[in-house]
């Protein structure tokens, strides 16, 4: 049971990222130029990504941690997310007047928590990774301390997050009491060997896990915190939260539900199907009536969690890889849309009302064009990546025999066209109201270039990411 060098070698990316976060914290003391801290952070994350790719796959720390294709794919989503977030934050933080170095290290700590969630194969490790991610994100959501909306966002996120993690713990306690272990694989093999998979206690712990992860991925009816939190949090953090913690929630969910709760797969699928339908319904229908674009994207993000659940329901390597794909594509298109929103923010002007987008195409055709691409992609219109993601997701669900569910999902996606394209309509068909100036900067430009390239390239050549996701499941 002693940890050896081989164990430590598996967590080198995590160790490196922790050191990086500490380094950024130190740099806060010596450098006046906070954007410099951001740049060091980006370089560090790129190195971490490289280290992740060269780490030998395998298990470590008495089977609590695993490096495999599944975890590596999710880690790449997290790295992409953190790099894009830092790029869009650099100028935004100055505008908001909270240009602090701690911001960058907290983002990195949150990413560290996500990595641990994706790699954890023990419920204790998953719980701790989730808390590390959540605690860092609570602080980031409340980072605009002088603004009451940001305080409120942090408070709601915190209270419901802590509430849901108590449920997670109860689920862990019950499985532990039944099986005497917290290791995912051991739980499954113990319940099948002793024929207690159908025991109500196991079902109860499954329900606790669904509640807990439902809160984390903002699935209805556990989504109440998401709209307020997404609206009130700093815009860069909204982008970060709507991709990273959500993907991490799905990563941990995939592991827990397939590895530990695999023996009762039909039971949890039966619970998750209504949740997926409700999530798509709530997200898409309430989004229609929103006037604040951040709030609208919050509901849209709820709806997208509903689509991604389809991959989990379909299961198998095809279902999981289509879910992973979708989360990667979602990272590109969603952070891209938030980057455009951040561009409209300047001193004394929020730029969060959908009205503010009126006639944007006349004054700033490039920004409007980019927003158009992201909105098309979020709707799922070809040739954007959003279409490809949805297509594979729906195909895998049909092949697994959930045709009815896919029909529902297609109907809701058609409804979603209404509110996404409304923004396009505002930009192209309305007269500009007031002078809207853009606050552009080089990092923001790079972020936009990366996201739009991602959306278009993956839309035209989808095979790249499909192969990557499939290969990562086999490896």
Partner 1 sequence: MLAEIFFAYFAVVIVLTSILVIASRNPVHSVLWMLLLFFHIAGLYLMLDAEFLAAIQIIIYAGAILVLFLFVVLLLNLKEEIKGRPFSRIFVIALVLAIGMAVVISSTMKLLPPGPVGQYSMDMIRATKGGNSSIIGRVMYTEFLFPFEIASTILLVAIIGAIVLAKKRLRS
Partner 2 sequence: MVPIQWYLWLSVIVFSIGVFGFLSRRNIIVIFMSIELMLNGVNISLVAFSHYLQDMRGQILVFFVIAVAAAEAAIGLAIIISLFRNKATAHVDDIDEMKG
Out of 106, 219, 309, 469, the only residue in the binding site for partner 1 (CB under 8 A) is 106
Q: How far apart are CA 395 and CA 409, in angstroms?
A: 12
Residue 193 found at the interface with partner 2 (CB under 8 A): no
Regarding 352 and contact with partner 2 (CB under 8 A), the answer is no
Nearer to partner 2, 106 or 393 (CB): 106
**Applying CB under 8 A, does 128 fall inside the site for partner 1?**
yes
Nearest distance in Å: CB 181, partner 1:
8
For tokens 């949805």, the residue is 390
Yes or no: say if 306 and 56 are a contact pair by the CB < 8 Å rule: no
Taking a C-beta distance cutoff of 8 angstroms, is the pair 88, 342 a contact?
A: yes
Interacting span for partner 2 (CB under 8 A) from 85-93, 110-118, 120-128, 186-194: 120-128
Q: ω into residue 363 within 30 of 0, thus cis?
A: no
Spatial distance between the Cα atoms of 81 and 77, rounded to a whole number of angstroms: 6
The encoded tokens of residue 382 equal 């070809």
Q: How many CB atoms lie within 10 A of CB 16?
A: 17
User: How many angstroms separate the CA atoms of 161 and 169, rounded?
Assistant: 12
Minimum separation from the CB atom of position 448 to partner 2 (A): 27
Q: How far apart are CA 445 and CA 94, in angstroms?
A: 16
381 near partner 1 (CB under 8 A): no
Q: According to the binding rule CB under 8 A, does residue 149 interact with partner 2?
A: yes
Is residue 418 within the footprint of partner 2 (CB under 8 A)? no
* Contact flags string 161-200 toward partner 1, x per CB under 8 A: ----------------xxxx---------x---x-x--xx
In the bound state with partner 2, the residue whose beta carbon lies nearer, of 199 and 317, is 199
Distance from C-alpha of 225 to C-alpha of 163, rounded to nearest angstrom: 11
User: Least distance from C-beta 83 to partner 1, angstroms?
Assistant: 21
**Bridge partners of 59?**
66
The nearer residue to partner 1, 136 or 321, going by C-beta atoms, is 136
Closer by beta carbon to partner 1, 151 or else 292? 151
**Dist CA 377 CA 394 (whole Å):** 16
- Could you say which of 9, 12, 16, 18 contacts partner 1 (CB under 8 A)? 18
1 binds partner 1 (CB under 8 A): yes
To 10 degrees, what angle do helices 69-96 and 34-54 make?
Answer: 180
Pick the binder of partner 2 from 292, 317, 439, 440 (CB under 8 A).
292
* Closer by beta carbon to partner 1, 25 or else 449: 25
Position 135 contacts partner 2 (CB under 8 A): yes
- Return the number of the residue (181 or 317) whose C-beta is nearest partner 1: 181
Nearest residue (CB) to partner 1, 204 versus 415: 204
The window from 143-151, 279-287, 344-352, 383-391 that contacts partner 1 (CB under 8 A) reads 143-151
Tokens linked to 439? 């606050």
Q: Structure tokens of 196?
A: 């207690």
Helices (H) and strands (E) in the chain, counts: 20, 2
Q: How far apart are CB 99 and partner 1 at their closest, in Å?
A: 4
Contact at 8 Å (CB) between 303 and 412?
Answer: yes
Touching partner 2, residues 213-242 (CB under 8 A) = 227-228, 231-232
- Min separation Cβ 39 and partner 2, Å: 28
Concatenating the DSSP letter of every residue in 31-91 gives: -S-HHHHHHHHHHHHHHHHHHHHHSPPEEETTTTEEE-HHHHHHHHHHHHHHHHHHHHHHH
Could you give phi then psi for residue 122, rounded to 5 degrees?
-135, 140
**How many residues touch partner 2 (CB under 8 A)?**
41
89 closest CA partner among 302, 341, 330: 341
Return the residue of 138, 190, 202, 392 that touches partner 2, per CB under 8 A: 138
Cα dihedral value 206, 208, 209, 211, nearest 10: 120
Burial class (CB in 10 A: 0-12, 13-18, 19+), 393: buried
The one among 40, 68, 95, 102 contacting partner 1 by CB under 8 A:
102
Q: CA 327, 289, 279 angle in degrees (round to 5)?
A: 40
Q: Which stretch binds partner 1 (CB under 8 A): 57-65, 213-221, 297-305, 440-448?
A: 57-65
Neighbours of 455 (CB within 10 A): 26
Tell me if 413 sits within 8 A of 287, measured CB to CB.
no
403 binds partner 2 (CB under 8 A): no
The one of partner 2, partner 1, none whose footprint includes residue 264, by CB under 5 to 8 A per kind, is: none
Q: Is 252 a binder of partner 2 (CB under 8 A)?
A: no
Residues interacting with partner 1, by CB under 8 A?
Answer: 1-3, 7, 11, 18, 25, 34, 60-62, 64-65, 97-100, 102, 105-106, 109, 112, 116, 122, 124-125, 128-129, 131-132, 135-136, 138-139, 142-143, 145-146, 154, 177-180, 190, 194, 196, 199-201, 204
Residues interacting with partner 2, by CB under 8 A?
Answer: 124, 127-128, 131, 135, 138-139, 142, 145-149, 151-152, 154-155, 158-159, 162-163, 166, 169-170, 172-174, 176-177, 180-182, 227-228, 231-232, 289-292, 295
């Amino acid at each position: 049971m002693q940890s050896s060098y081989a164990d430590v070698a598996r967590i080198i990316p995590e160790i490196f990222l922790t050191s990086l976060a500490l380094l950024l914290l130190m740099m806060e003391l010596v450098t006046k130029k906070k954007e410099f801290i951001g740049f060091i952070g980006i370089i560090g994350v790129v190195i971490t990504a490289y280290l992740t790719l060269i780490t030998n796959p395998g298990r470590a720390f008495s089977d609590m941690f695993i490096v495999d294709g599944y975890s590596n794919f999710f880690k790449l989503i997290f790295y992409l997310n953190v790099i894009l977030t830092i790029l869009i934050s650099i100028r935004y933080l100055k505008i908001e007047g909270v240009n602090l170095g701690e911001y960058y290290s907290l983002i990195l700590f949150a990413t560290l928590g996500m990595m641990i969630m994706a790699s954890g194969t023990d419920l204790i490790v998953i719980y701790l990774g989730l808390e590390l991610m959540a605690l860092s994100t609570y602080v980031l959501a409340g980072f605009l301390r002088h603004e009451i909306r940001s305080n409120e966002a942090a408070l709601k996120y915190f209270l419901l997050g802590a509430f849901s993690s108590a449920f997670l713990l109860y689920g862990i306690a019950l499985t532990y009491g039944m099986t005497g272990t917290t290791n995912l694989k051991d739980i499954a093999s113990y319940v099948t060997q002793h024929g207690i998979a159908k025991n109500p206690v196991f079902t109860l712990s499954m329900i606790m896990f669904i509640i807990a992860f439902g809160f984390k991925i903002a699935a209805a009816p556990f989504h109440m915190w998401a709209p307020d939190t997404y609206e009130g949090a700093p815009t860069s953090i909204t982008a970060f939260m709507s991709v990273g913690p959500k993907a991490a929630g799905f990563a941990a969910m995939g592991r827990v539900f397939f590895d530990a709760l695999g023996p009762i797969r039909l039971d949890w699928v039966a619970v998750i199907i209504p949740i997926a339908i409700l999530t798509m319904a709530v997200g898409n229908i309430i989004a229609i009536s929103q006037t604040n674009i951040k709030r609208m994207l919050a509901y849209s993000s709820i709806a997208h969690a509903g689509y991604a659940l389809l991959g989990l329901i379909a299961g198998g390597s095809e279902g999981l890889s289509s879910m992973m794909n979708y989360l990667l594509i979602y990272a590109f298109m969603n952070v891209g849309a938030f980057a455009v929103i951040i561009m409209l923010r300047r001193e004394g002007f929020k730029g969060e009302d959908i009205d503010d987008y009126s006639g944007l195409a006349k004054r700033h055709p490039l920004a409007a064009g980019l927003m158009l691409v992201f909105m098309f992609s979020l709707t799922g219109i070809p040739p954007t990546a959003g279409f490809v993601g949805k297509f594979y997701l729906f195909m895998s669900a049909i092949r697994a025999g959930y045709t009815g569910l896919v029909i529902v999902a297609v109907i809701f996606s058609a409804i979603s066209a209404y509110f996404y394209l409304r923004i396009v309509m505002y930009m192209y068909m309305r007269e500009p109201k007031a002078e809207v100036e853009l606050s552009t900067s080089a990092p923001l430009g790079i972020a936009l270039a990366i996201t739009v390239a991602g959306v278009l390239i993956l839309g035209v050549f989808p095979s790249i990411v499909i192969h990557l996701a499939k290969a990562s499941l086999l490896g």
